[in-house]
Amino acid sequence: MSDLTGEIAVVTGGSRGIGAAVVIALAGAGASVVVAGGSEKHGRALADDVGACYLAHDVSSEESWERLLTQVSTDLGEVTVLVNNAGVLDPGPDISDTTVENFDRHYRVNQLGVFLGMRAVAGAMKRAGSGSIVNLSSIGGHRGYANQIGYSTTKWAVRGMTKCAAVELGPYGVRVNSVAPGFISTTMIDVMPGEQIDAVTAATPLGRRGTAEEIARAVLFLASKDCPFATGTELVVDGGLAL
């Protein structure tokens, strides 16, 4: 098990699904963890269970990031690990009928939220000469899926932003990596038609959907000092779906 004793970690959208599994993994490794946003009911319950804390947060708001980082700094210290996990998946019709509102909602949470998060912690991490950022991309950022142009666009962007940030922050000792989950058994995929879920599962070489805990272990590895020479890395955890 990776040792994150002394680390201060923020996990966005950490109340359920992959985010909750990441919170559990980081807390289990000894980090002081902040569950930032997501369902307040589930987030507070999870925080109580693992000895973390919950703070309401809107990843698409500059002001919310400022309040969050100020509160964390006051209560715990400067953030040393950031996991940009918050995301939405809201499949629409095909591109001819996809609304600007649908496209913009994906952009503001999945892409702008990741940018604002990295920007919010970069200064303190540079000054400290260390830090680890892990961004959640998706198999949707490695191949195209019908009716998901808003979602997939943002997940492709997360890959690019991760690499840009890795180049910029690397000289300061700050690592930036991404994890791309495949089809994972969480409530996020419930918005997709059952036949599409079954078809993608059948097309996965390992023959099943992944679990949130499997993604959390990948995030923990990249967040920890177990891979100190890895930055700009894309760790695809998809059962072989992107092959």
Active site residue 54: no
> Which residues are CB-contacts of 67 (< 8 A; sequence separation ≥ 6)?
none
Residue 122 contacts residue 174 (beta carbons within 8 Å): yes
Q: Which of 54, 107, 151, 172 is catalytic?
A: 151
Give 178: exposed, middle or buried? Use CB within 10 Å, 0-12, 13-18, 19+.
Answer: buried
State how far the alpha carbon of 232 is from the alpha carbons of 110, 117, 158, 208, in Å.
18, 16, 11, 28
Compute φ and ψ for 201, nearest 5 degrees: -60, -45
What residues are labeled active site?
Answer: 151
